[in-house]
Structure 1
């Protein structure tokens, strides 16, 4: 067993869980992932100019094996286009990856472009269980009319969408709560999972989750020493986070993180929101959302 996996396993066994469910892990075509790594290495503009060493830089099979060693029962292949004309190709790759990786929740993506509704429907019919949207990298308005029917289709199908729409680590033209609030006004039942707890607009995104019963938040990078240095979570908002305990899901950004996987878990633990909250966030909420065996339905507001 690899170094570090023992600490991760001790965390979830100590909570009496059967493992972890991580809704925010990246698997994508190797050449695309290597470009992402090169961007982090060069401290590209969207990283906020921060030094960002990739902790889990390894081959695809080794990374999937490591998640299994950690005890991650289900994970995602978050992938996203940075321009039109890429999404359908990425979706084809992700379908193949899910077919050869049974513990990966089949992931798909989208971009505002002609034909988006068609390939989103194709992905849903092919068994996609979660979508990824990246407003910052794709540099688009999520409320773009081109996406409207695709959002409607996903809302109707009840398929969750992990969306990076907060302005961290660096703002984009269409990031922040405004554009995505316009999407929710049109599609209030859309199962959005706001990545990174909406950092740094944490409180505004908590507000959207309080207003829309199908909005969830993932913990990706939040509360870690790395993030707290430049985009700290406001302590006054912790009671609101505690109250939304049935709609917060574990996310990690594995493998693209500048610290150990266990550190994200310890960062959640030291919030001191209680064992029930941790159990819900690290396993039960996502297990129920994705219908995994052993998933207890959390109490919904």
Structure 2
């Protein structure tokens, strides 16, 4: 376990004790400055459905955030941006690809939205070497079954490039959330490499079912098992055996939501360790599974 109130300074010793070369975190955000300020304002101040929001632990300049990730030994991470309206995704993709070119540890990342031209700019992103996509069905408010996206899902299934999908109802209900909409997409495209954000919290059961049913569906650990999540959306004990089995089968990967989190990064690792699922499980979740995926 990490000490000093979950100090990030202890993170390298944590993964070294597991015999890992570092960490791979598949749920990290870097955004254009104006968009980032708006996201941080939202989480800092909340609203009618979020109460008082939460204090962001790493509301820092980009260079300082990168320095912290490197100091902790996060060897690989994306810059997950996501579009919430038309005529936004292509510009975001330009920004995230440029950020990845300037940041050696950053996976080339992209997003998409159901709109005219989406197939063309997703094709272009794949040709430009994108290694991971992100869509947020709750914030974006769009149906993943939209006809504009049918060819996109087919392209992604063929390419094997993972797409991190926020399909659950956290932090607030809205949009086309729940397992059924994305589940219908998977029925049409069973080879899609979907990573369900937050283990599907709080709708754990149906998203675990999707991960068990489809060979390429995985779950990320983002904010799960932390003190913050356990207070309001506790993980059900009945799913612990499935969590163990899925992790050892390559279907659970480390995610953090850095920097927009209400706790130190180290606390996410502590939360995983205190599950007491064993070192092989931790090694798989924190490195092996994501390494095989990207």
**Rounded Cα–Cα distance in structure 1 between residues aligned with 2:129 and 2:52:** 37
**Rounded Cα–Cα distance in structure 1 between residues aligned with 2:86 and 2:253:** 29
1:15 paired with 2:18, answer yes
- Find the partner of 1:278 among 279, 282, 289: 282
Q: How does 1:1-301 map to 2 (within 5 A)?
A: 4-44=7-47, 48-245=50-247, 246-290=250-294
Runs (5+) with no aligned partner, structure 2: 1-5
Deviation per CA, 1:116-175: give whole Å up to 9, x if none. 110000000011000000001100111111111111111111100001001122111310
Runs of 4+ in 1 over 6 A off after TM superposition: none
Task: Note if contact 1:73-1:103 (Cα within 8 Å) is conserved in structure 2.
Answer: yes
Cα RMSD for the two superposed structures: 1.1
- Residue 3 of structure 2 is matched in structure 1 by none
- Secondary structure in 2 aligned to 1:223? coil
C-alpha spacing 1:215/1:262, structure 2 compared with 1 (3 Å): same
TM-superposed CA distance for 1:45, in Å, is 5.1
Task: Note if contact 2:25-2:74 (Cα within 8 Å) is conserved in structure 1.
Answer: yes
Task: Note if contact 1:80-1:133 (Cα within 8 Å) is conserved in structure 2.
Answer: yes
**Rounded Cα–Cα distance in structure 2 between residues aligned with 1:23 and 1:216:** 11
**Rounded Cα–Cα distance in structure 2 between residues aligned with 1:86 and 1:113:** 10
- Secondary structure in 2 aligned to 1:259? coil
Task: Note if contact 1:45-1:170 (Cα within 8 Å) is conserved in structure 2.
Answer: no
Deviation per CA, 1:91-112: give whole Å up to 9, x if none. 0001100100011010000001
Deviation per CA, 1:23-62: give whole Å up to 9, x if none. 000001011101100111120356x325311000111111
- Secondary structure in 1 aligned to 2:260? coil
**Rounded Cα–Cα distance in structure 2 between residues aligned with 1:95 and 1:182:** 30
- Secondary structure in 1 aligned to 2:90? helix
Query: How many positions carry a matched residue from both structures?
Result: 287
- Secondary structure in 2 aligned to 1:166? coil
Runs (5+) with no aligned partner, structure 1: 291-301
Task: Note if contact 1:190-1:214 (Cα within 8 Å) is conserved in structure 2.
Answer: yes
**Rounded Cα–Cα distance in structure 2 between residues aligned with 1:115 and 1:174:** 22
- TM normalised by structure 2 equals 0.95
Task: Note if contact 2:47-2:53 (Cα within 8 Å) is conserved in structure 1.
Answer: no
